[in-house]
Structure 1
Amino acid sequence: MKKRHAAFAGMPVSAAFALVLAAALWSPAASAATLEGASLSVLWALPFAGILLSIAVLPLVMPHLWHRHFGKIAAAWAVVFLAPFAYAFGFDTALGTLAHALVEEYIPFIVLLTALYTIAGGICVRGNLHGSPKVNTAILALGTVLASVMGTTGAAMLLIRPLLRANDNRKHVVHVVVFFIFLVANAGGSLTPLGDPPLFLGFLNGVSFFWTTVHLLLPMLFVCSLLLALFYALDWYFYHHREEERAAALDPTPDTRRFSIEGKANVVLLALVVALVLMSGLWKPGLSLTVFGTALELQNAVRDVLLVALALISLVITPRSARVGNAFNWAPIEEVAKLFAGIFITIAPVIMMLRAGAHGPFASVVDLVTNERGAPVDAMYFWATGLLSSFLDNAPTYLVFFNLVGGDAPTLMTSGATTLAAISAGAVFMGANSYIGNAPNFMVKSMAESRGVRMPSFFAYLGWSGAILVPVFLLTTWLFFSGQ
């Protein structure tokens, strides 16, 4: 138990939070100068492009180096951005940019993911199903429904292990995990602010809780139903025509008809996570601490501290056998924490330039999403938000386009409802286009690989999403976002 506590305490999120908070308290007068994205050159996007290329290429050409030093490589790209940025615009501006990336974006992001990963990892489903097409489709459908209730991370962490166990005697398993990422780790989380971080940001900015339930229900049902049907057909083909199942005696986890759940107390902790997320959106005490120019609001600080506390409680009260049964380890969340720290830091100038709109280096993006009358084009907002969410983090990308179209929630929920729906759907659905589009994608990939599944490389996964998701999204555009 002490080892597990030490592992959690050593997570990057804790170190980052302590570093920024201590610096703020030590030097409360420090603040960051305001920097307009219109003044930046596109060259400031190169470190972000560098970290993306590293994630895509190095696991293929230098796998040993990458798996041993991916955290150092991510940190190096962050330094490549921050050092010249500080030289060009001043230390205060660079420090403020770093504080904003960590305090307002990265820390809440990784704290929530870590809490969900830790708590869901303490719920062990005992027993093993047989990974037939019907069973696999049912598990994916269940995860799709749960994703909007307990978040894509919670649902993915809860069900990926039983799914992998059910299929560990099959030869062809990659497609099962890929569709799991499509559905459970992404599209399923589109109905509530609890489902996916972009929708949570919309909730914090005034979008009502059930607005997405009403306006994204039909697109979500269409996308998910079509993907489930495609999965069933593909899994049926592999199962009946290409499968080479192991003999029952060689099955690593033999099928059983008896099922039980160990670590049930974690279900209560998951409910408390949901309550804390809701609290941070509804409770507005108006108190905050300024961290190098970035406001750390009381409700968000309370939420994050209590989320860490819930994760620690989960570690204490969960029977060791439950985590052993799940083969629980910190590797997936460690990979996400290190890589996304670099991504959140190097993405900062890209977000600044996008927020500058028509006055910034990415003015061509603004031109793409508006017509000759200056009105928003829903189909283009869907694809622009979606494609950027595929390679940038989908939460800040959502916020950029939310503000680009006005940023006024009451107006967007009424007269701008179709455009807000297009932005929301693009951010959530197309997070599945790449491994880095949404954090659970990386977690699922890492967990599958730890169970012996040879997951597609970065570019090979893009091939899967291009062949399957792009046609589905084209149909979605035609049906729901082409009304202008």
Structure 2
Amino acid sequence: MRKHPAWICVLIMASLAFLAHTTEAWASAGSLHEQAEGIGRLLDGVWAVPFAGMLLSIAVFPLLAPGFWSQHFGKVSAFWALAYLAPFVALHGWELGLYQVVHTALLEYVPFVILLLTLFTITGGVHLSGTLVGRPVVNTAILLVGTLLASWMGTTGAAMLLIRPLIRANSHRRYKAHTMVFFIFLVANIGGCLTPFGDPPLFLGFLKGVSFFWTTQHLLLPLLLLSSILLGLYFLVDTALFKREGKPQPPAAKKVRLCVEGGANLLLLGAVVACVLASGMWQPGIGFDVFHVRLELQNVLRDVLLLGLTAASLKITTKELRHKNSFEWEPMQEVAKIFAGIFVSMIPAIAILRAGSEGALASVVGLVSKDGVADTAMYFWLTGILSSLLDNAPTYLVFFNIAGGNAQELMQQVHTLMAISAGAVFMGANSYIGNAPNFMVRSIAESSGVKMPSFFGYMVWSLGILTPCFALLALLFFR
């Protein structure tokens, strides 16, 4: 079981769901749901302390106690989850506490882990062989390709597909971290703004009624501007560092034409795209309740099919090919355990945000409009800043609802919906936890020997480079 840690998380959550199902008769569905919906109005800022502790642990422990962190990050994650859950249960009862955990687990965390596991496993079975040398032009080209792919196969899919070839191409380089940072900026975040499949927030908008190609039409210019600036800046930085290294070349070897091994996994990757899109477009109206949490048939079927595709990839891919990719389960284990703590500990923060003008963050939420008129710049910045630290999908949904929640009307209020969409997608790049593939890229890079910036070190990069770019976008598009 230790070789397949992600499955442990799935089994734990399935067991939790079964336990919850057996206690279903002990509480009222309507009252629990109503209590959960209104709990944000009763919580103050103190309830965000466990989430802040979780973030600080991710930031500080790898720096001050790397040995402790590498051995016990799962226990630290569980500690902060319980630091929220235990007092909440003591004050509000076990039924409401269990409902919140089951709701978060079954509707958010389990689908999140299953999709990551599937993409991680399938892309780990695709090997780009041949001579690929990490010179500035080659690295910039890989970033460009990943940016273009991200909207059509998802930021997670594009990142998982290209991160290993990029690491191998630069294995002879002294300076590598900057390449990984720009990869997170462009491939794991910014490139996913054009379609609902690109990034989870846009997929939620699609489910709410936003047209599939709405973001393609309205975010294309911001994407072109932002990616041009970042690709150009990356090329200059990489060129300067390449020269400082003495223009190193990899050990002499026979040049081999580029080719793809494990091509069958690319077909499986296409099937992943089809499953996710179908789950959003097919709405049979059939479902069942697990401890008062409604599970829709299309979503359950999607996750079952994704697990089937994961198993298929493990079956058809040889151990030798995965060894060529330096494929290991540790990055998946780290992401699954750490995000379990993040998802649970951030429950009160999301609840307070959803309470809007009646919650502890009413003053913050009130900034998005003046005298009843939407302030698009504030929608952009607030959605983005909160997406940098919270899950960008529910943050998008919160501000989508604050703006009215009617997709047909919001598509006519072009700049408001643009601001919410761009803020959620673009500023997910501001921290390692802003978007799912960020932490995964970091984990894969570190497991391959790349010394990545710390949590705060990464934010020095993102704030220094991205903030001026976002300010320019706000000036041009969200005034």
Category of TM-score, reference length = shorter chain: over 0.9
SS at match of 2:260: strand
Deviation, 1:439, is: 1.4
Task: Name structure 1 gaps, 5 residues minimum.
Answer: none
Aligned to 2:294: 295
Contact (CA 8 Å) 2:21, 2:291: kept in 1 or not?
no
Equivalences for residues 89-104 of structure 1 within 5 A? 89-104=92-107
Contact (CA 8 Å) 1:121, 1:158: kept in 2 or not?
yes
- For residues 87 and 10 of structure 2, the distance between their equivalents in structure 1, rounded to whole angstroms, comes to 27
Counterpart residue identity of residue 215, structure 1? H
Deviation, 1:10, is: 5.5
Counterpart residue identity of residue 63, structure 1? P
Matched, 1:26 2:22: yes
Report the TM-score when normalising by structure 1. 0.94
Deviation, 1:391, is: 0.8
Matched, 1:148 2:151: yes
- For residues 196 and 169 of structure 2, the distance between their equivalents in structure 1, rounded to whole angstroms, comes to 31
Aligned to 1:201: 204
Judged with a 3 Å threshold, the aligned counterparts in structure 2 of structure 1 residues 369 and 61 are, in CA distance, closer, same or farther, namely same
Contact (CA 8 Å) 1:127, 1:255: kept in 2 or not?
no
- For residues 318 and 201 of structure 1, the distance between their equivalents in structure 2, rounded to whole angstroms, comes to 33
Deviation, 1:388, is: 0.6
SS at match of 2:373: coil
Judged with a 3 Å threshold, the aligned counterparts in structure 2 of structure 1 residues 274 and 38 are, in CA distance, closer, same or farther, namely same
Judged with a 3 Å threshold, the aligned counterparts in structure 2 of structure 1 residues 255 and 442 are, in CA distance, closer, same or farther, namely farther
SS at match of 2:4: helix
Identity fraction in percent: 56
Deviation, 1:243, is: 1.2
Counterpart residue identity of residue 296, structure 1? L
Deviation, 1:12, is: 3.8
Contact (CA 8 Å) 2:133, 2:250: kept in 1 or not?
no
Matched, 1:397 2:400: no
Contact (CA 8 Å) 2:210, 2:411: kept in 1 or not?
yes
Give CA-to-partner distance per residue, 1:391-437, whole Å, 9 cap, x none.
111111111111111111111111x2211111111111011111111
Aligned to 2:434: 437
Aligned to 2:362: 363
- For residues 245 and 69 of structure 1, the distance between their equivalents in structure 2, rounded to whole angstroms, comes to 40
Deviation, 1:9, is: 7.1
SS at match of 1:108: helix
Matched, 1:380 2:378: yes
Aligned to 2:303: 304
- For residues 393 and 342 of structure 1, the distance between their equivalents in structure 2, rounded to whole angstroms, comes to 12
- For residues 247 and 477 of structure 1, the distance between their equivalents in structure 2, rounded to whole angstroms, comes to 42
1:15 to 3, 6, 11: 11
2:140 to 137, 142, 145: 137
SS at match of 2:3: helix
In the alignment of these two chains, the number of paired residues is 472
Counterpart residue identity of residue 181, structure 2? V
Task: Name structure 2 gaps, 5 residues minimum.
Answer: none
- For residues 26 and 247 of structure 1, the distance between their equivalents in structure 2, rounded to whole angstroms, comes to 62
Deviation, 1:299, is: 0.7
1:88 to 66, 69, 91: 91
Matched, 1:170 2:166: no
Aligned to 1:53: 56
Equivalences for residues 73-84 of structure 1 within 5 A? 73-84=76-87
Aligned to 2:280: 281
Aligned to 1:40: 43
Deviation, 1:244, is: 4.2
Give CA-to-partner distance per residue, 1:91-132, whole Å, 9 cap, x none.
110011101111111111111111111111111111131111
Equivalences for residues 409-428 of structure 1 within 5 A? 409-414=407-412, 416-428=413-425
Equivalences for residues 206-221 of structure 1 within 5 A? 206-221=209-224
SS at match of 2:112: helix
- For residues 395 and 355 of structure 2, the distance between their equivalents in structure 1, rounded to whole angstroms, comes to 13
Contact (CA 8 Å) 1:12, 1:338: kept in 2 or not?
no
Contact (CA 8 Å) 1:20, 1:291: kept in 2 or not?
no
Report the TM-score when normalising by structure 2. 0.95
Judged with a 3 Å threshold, the aligned counterparts in structure 2 of structure 1 residues 221 and 421 are, in CA distance, closer, same or farther, namely same
- For residues 324 and 157 of structure 2, the distance between their equivalents in structure 1, rounded to whole angstroms, comes to 18
SS at match of 1:7: coil
Give CA-to-partner distance per residue, 1:157-196, whole Å, 9 cap, x none.
1111111111111111111111001000110111111111
CA RMSD of aligned residues (A): 1.6
Residue range with higher mean Cα deviation, 133-142 or 212-221: 212-221
Aligned to 1:334: 333
Judged with a 3 Å threshold, the aligned counterparts in structure 2 of structure 1 residues 90 and 246 are, in CA distance, closer, same or farther, namely same
Contact (CA 8 Å) 1:151, 1:196: kept in 2 or not?
yes
SS at match of 1:295: strand
- For residues 254 and 359 of structure 2, the distance between their equivalents in structure 1, rounded to whole angstroms, comes to 58
